[in-house]
């Protein structure tokens, strides 16, 4: 497969990186919206660009590289894209214009008589979301999370995450579809975000060992250090390739099941080991909360909990 980005996709990646590099952390989400990065996958009929999974994944990777604590994954990959694909024109108009936030869960709920019952754990930004997408046996249900009971849960990154208790929660709409399509979108998006986390941590570590000296020499010149950073580089590049392959297949409408499973497995099994090596190579600096490495690690921990293991 040819993974070469076209001109529009290169612009998406570059603009996302520039926005996240220059905006203050608390303004990152708003800045991405002002740059048009949050409506890429929305239909042109509601003011979007009508683009697809790959363009959204490029935004997610840059969000990860910047370790920006924003709702990009739940809103873009499991919100905007599903609404654009399966929502009615009225739903698209209601959900994909303005500043209304979307979120989703990968935990399936029980549906019957127009209501949902079940417990959905690890739902990000549920307290500020306009609507929440919930998998059921034969499709996706759209609910208002304000009508459910939200229980704030502790996260490594400090990000807003909730256990959502659905007790006869009214359903606005049900989209009849193969739930695996929705799950693949979520997992591929998570892998693209994790790709960014690891790439950002690798860049920090590479810069550190190149400039930090011991015994009058840069750390990077020591054979043991060079071997360890090479392992992180291999893990990062492999995750990038696996995530890109999964995203590309989804983007082009091909069967992506195997690629998504491979990317998820690599993220779950290798990403944290690579992160620990980055901390080891930083020494004590890597544990300092005033140094950014901890943000990549804590967000990666939360992300790995989010991704279900392939069966």
Please report, for the chain, the start and end positions of each structural domain, with discontinuous segments joined by +. Answer: 1-99, 101-177, 179-306
List of residues 6+ apart from 264 with CB closer than 8 A: 187, 190, 191, 307, 308, 309, 310
User: Is the pLDDT assigned to residue 309 strictly greater than 60?
Assistant: no
195-243: pLDDT as tens digits: 999 999 999 999 999 998 888 899 898 999 999 999 999 999 999 999 9
The CATH number of domain 101-177 is 2.40.110.10: yes
pLDDT for 311 equals: 39
104-128: pLDDT as tens digits: 999 999 999 999 999 999 999 999 9
Question: Domain 179-306: which topology?
Answer: Butyryl-CoA Dehydrogenase, subunit A; domain 3 (1.20.140)
pLDDT for 83 equals: 97
Burial class (CB in 10 A: 0-12, 13-18, 19+), 271: buried
Mean pLDDT of all residues in the chain? 95
How far apart are alpha carbons 183 and 163 in whole angstroms? 19
pTM of the model: 0.95
SS3 47: coil
User: Is the pLDDT assigned to residue 36 strictly greater than 90?
Assistant: yes
User: Is the pLDDT assigned to residue 2 strictly greater than 80?
Assistant: no
Rg of the chain on CA atoms, in Å = 20
Do 243 and 307 contact (CB within 8 A), yes or no?
no
Alpha carbon 279 to its chain's center:
22
Residue position matching structure tokens 């690798």: 202
């Amino acid at each position: 497969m040819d993974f070469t980005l076209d001109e529009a996709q290169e612009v998406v990646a570059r603009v996302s990186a520039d926005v996240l590099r220059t905006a203050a952390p608390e303004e990152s989400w708003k800045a991405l919206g002002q740059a048009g990065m949050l409506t890429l996958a929305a239909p042109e009929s509601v003011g979007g660009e009508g683009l697809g999974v790959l363009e959204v994944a490029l935004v997610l990777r840059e969000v990860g590289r910047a370790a920006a604590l924003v709702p990009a994954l739940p809103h873009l990959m499991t919100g905007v894209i599903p609404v654009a694909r399966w929502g009615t024109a009225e739903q698209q108009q209601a959900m994909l214009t303005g500043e209304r936030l979307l979120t989703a869960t990968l935990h399936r709920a029980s549906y019957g008589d127009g209501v949902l019952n079940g417990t959905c754990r690890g739902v990000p930004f549920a307290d500020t979301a306009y609507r929440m997408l919930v998998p059921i046996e034969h499709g996706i249900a759209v609910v208002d999370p304000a009508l459910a009971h939200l229980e704030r849960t502790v996260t490594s990154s400090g990000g807003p995450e909730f256990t959502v208790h659905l007790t006869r929660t009214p359903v606005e709409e049900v989209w009849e579809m193969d739930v695996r399509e929705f799950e693949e979108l979520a997992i591929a998006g998570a892998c693209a975000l994790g790709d960014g986390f690891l790439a950002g941590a690798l860049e920090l570590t590479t810069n550190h060992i190149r400039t930090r000296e011991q015994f009058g020499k840069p750390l990077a010149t020591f054979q043991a250090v060079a071997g360890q950073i090479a392992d992180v580089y291999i893990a990062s590049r492999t995750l990038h390739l696996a995530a890109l392959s999964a995203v590309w297949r989804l983007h082009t409408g091909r069967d992506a099941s195997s690629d998504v499973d491979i990317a998820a497995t690599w993220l779950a099994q290798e990403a944290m080991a690579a992160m620990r090596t980055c901390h080891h190579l930083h020494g004590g600096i890597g544990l300092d909360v005033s140094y950014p490495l901890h943000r990549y690690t804590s967000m990666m921990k939360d992300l790995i909990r989010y991704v279900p293991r392939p069966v």
